[in-house]
């Protein structure tokens, strides 16, 4: 491993969000008991503090949502020193009034994925609290970073589907009827794995399309999603940068320190 400062803050960039630093960053290759992460981790600076950046899908979008090495990604960040993570992602909207260009800071998620490993603890009776899946302190920092160019929602329920296909119109209408606002393919198990490793974690979602239940035309097409994400990428990255800068503590907050009174079967990295 080359020499670099230990980053306590990290950003995991989603579809279309493959780099973060304007200045030069050091790429750190980290191996984990779960294999290699999606890409080398870039360590750069935001307002004088070291920050890690990992492109969730790989540098060239090599990984689909259902094949992502989620456990390796979170483990590698923690091993580098990371304790707090912002997770920007592209989402479909289940509400007609939250169109493309809306940014939402989810406060709840619903897991509709299947077959993805979603824990580090296959033994030892470890059951983390997940009632509130996102770190309140990081959510507050993201909300504070709001941009004039993007329409900001301060709470949302995000349903995470298995993918890689988009939802049918009936599925989409059913999700909306539950009162869920956003649909995505990568928010789980990322959030729970961060919690298991006692890292603060907040998703920040950029709406790229109206989901199939709302869309009157051909339904959701990947090409439109990527084009829309690209259109708002500059103000969205700026928002994430301001959120990172707004975080005052670089330690896990008390609420996300879930193993305080538990003896773990192994040490966290
Ligand atoms: Zn926290």
What is the per-residue pLDDT across 74-99, written as a single tens digit (0 to 9) for each? 999 999 999 999 999 999 999 999 99
Among the listed residues 97, 132, 209, 224, the single catalytic one is 209
Rounded Cα distance between 171 and 107, Å, is: 22
Residue 84, exposed/middle/buried by CB under 10 A (0-12, 13-18, 19+)?
buried
% of the chain surpassing 70 pLDDT: 99
211 is catalytic: yes
Q: Residue 191 contacts by C-beta under 8 Å, 6 or more apart in sequence?
A: 87, 109, 130, 133, 134, 201, 203
pLDDT digits (tens, 9 = 90+) for 177-199: 999 999 999 999 999 999 999 99
Rounded Cα distance between 262 and 124, Å, is: 10
Structure tokens at 76: 């590698």
Taking residues 126-154, what's their average pLDDT?
95
Residue at token pair 């996300």: 256
Q: Closest by alpha carbon to 138, among 16, 258, 11, 6?
A: 11
Average pLDDT, the chain: 93
Q: How far is the CA of 193 from the centre of ligand 1 (A)?
A: 13
pLDDT (0 to 100) of residue 5? 85
Q: How far is the CA of 116 from the centre of ligand 1 (A)?
A: 24
For residue 1, pLDDT over 70 is answered with no
Could you tell me the CA-to-CA distances from 207 to 52, 89, 161, 260 in Å, in that order?
A: 24, 9, 16, 36
pLDDT (0 to 100) of residue 268? 93
For residue 2, pLDDT over 60 is answered with no
209 is catalytic: yes
pLDDT digits (tens, 9 = 90+) for 93-106: 999 999 989 999 99
């Amino acid at each position: 491993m080359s020499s670099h400062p230990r980053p306590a803050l990290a950003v995991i960039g989603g579809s279309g969000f493959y780099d973060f630093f304007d200045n030069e960053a050091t790429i750190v290759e980290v191996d984990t008991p779960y294999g290699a992460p999606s890409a080398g981790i870039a360590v750069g600076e935001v307002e004088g503090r070291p920050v890690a950046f990992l492109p969730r899908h790989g540098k060239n979008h090599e990984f689909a949502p259902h094949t992502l090495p989620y456990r390796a990604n979170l483990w590698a960040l923690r091993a580098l020193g990371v304790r707090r993570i912002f997770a920007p992602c592209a989402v479909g909207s289940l509400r007609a009034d939250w169109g493309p260009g809306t940014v939402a800071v989810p406060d709840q998620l619903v897991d509709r994925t299947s077959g993805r490993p979603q824990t580090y603890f296959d033994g030892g009776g470890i059951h983390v609290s997940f009632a509130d899946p996102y770190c309140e302190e990081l959510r507050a920092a993201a909300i504070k970073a709001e941009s004039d160019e993007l329409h900001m929602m301060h709470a949302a329920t995000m349903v995470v589907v298995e993918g890689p296909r988009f939802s049918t119109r009936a599925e989409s209408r059913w999700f909306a009827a539950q009162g869920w606002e956003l649909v995505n393919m990568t928010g789980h198990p990322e959030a729970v794995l961060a919690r298991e490793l006692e890292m603060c974690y907040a998703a920040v979602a950029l709406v790229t399309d109206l989901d199939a239940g709302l869309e009157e035309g051909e339904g959701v097409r990947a090409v439109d999603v990527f084009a829309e994400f690209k259109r708002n990428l500059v103000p969205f990255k700026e928002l994430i940068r301001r959120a990172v800068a707004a975080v005052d503590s670089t330690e896990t907050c008390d609420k996300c320190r879930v193993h305080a009174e538990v003896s773990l079967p192994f040490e966290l990295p």
